[in-house]
Amino acid sequence: MKNTFFSLVGTVLILALTGWPYLGVKASDLPDYKNPQLPIEKRVEDLLSRMTLEEKVAQLQCYVRADALRKIGPQGIGGLGCILRPYSAKEAAERLNEIQSFMVKQTRLGIPILMHDEALHGLLGNKATSFPQSIAMAATWDPELVYEEAKAIATEVKSRGIRQVLSPTINIARDIRWGRTEETYGEDPYLTSRMAVAFCKAFEEMGVVTTPKHYAANIGDGGRDSNPVHFSERLMREIYLPAFEACVREAGARSIMSAYNSYDGTPCSSNKWLLTDLLRKEWGFQGFVVSDYGAVSGIMYMHHTAGTEKETAAQALSAGLDVELPNVEMYGDALLEAVKEGLVSEEILNESVRRVLRVKFQLGLFENPFADPTEAERVNDSPEHRALARKAGQKAIVLLKNEGDVLPLSKGIKSIAVIGPLANTVRLGGYSGWGMKTVSLVEGIQNAVPNAKIYSAPGVASLDAMGYPPIPSEYLFTPDGKQNGLLGEYYDNPKLEGKPTLVRIDKNIEFAWGDGSPDPKLKPDRFSIRWTGKLKAPVSGSYRLIAVT
DSSP of 415-479: EEEEESTTSS-----TT--BSS----HHHHHHHHSTTSEEEEE-SS--HHHHT-PPPPGGGEE-T
Q: What residues contact 57, with CB distance under 8 A and at least 6 apart?
A: 331, 332, 335, 336, 339, 349
* Enclosing H/E stretch for 405: none
Note if 29 is an active site residue. Answer: no
**Cα–Cα distances in angstroms (integers) from residue 307 to residues 3, 273, 369, in the given order:** 38, 21, 40
What residue type is assigned to position 540 of the chain?
S
Q: Are 370 and 21 in contact (CB under 8 A)?
A: no
Q: Between β-strands 528-532 and 262-263, what pairing exists: parallel, antiparallel or unpaired?
A: unpaired
CA–chain centroid gap for 118, Å, is 5
Q: Between β-strands 114-117 and 164-165, what pairing exists: parallel, antiparallel or unpaired?
A: parallel
CA distance between the termini of the chain: 33
Q: Are 261 and 291 in contact (CB under 8 A)?
A: no
Q: Between β-strands 476-477 and 502-506, what pairing exists: parallel, antiparallel or unpaired?
A: unpaired
Report the DSSP beta bridge partners of residue 229: 263
Catalytic residue among 142, 292, 372, 506: 292
Reduced to 3 states, what is the DSSP secondary structure of residue 490? Answer: strand
DSSP 270: G
Q: Classify residue 221 as exposed, middle or buried by CB count within 10 Å of its CB (0-12, 13-18, 19+).
A: exposed
Peptide bond into 74 cis (omega under 30): no
DSSP 124: S
Q: Are 30 and 22 in contact (CB under 8 A)?
A: yes
Active site residues: 292
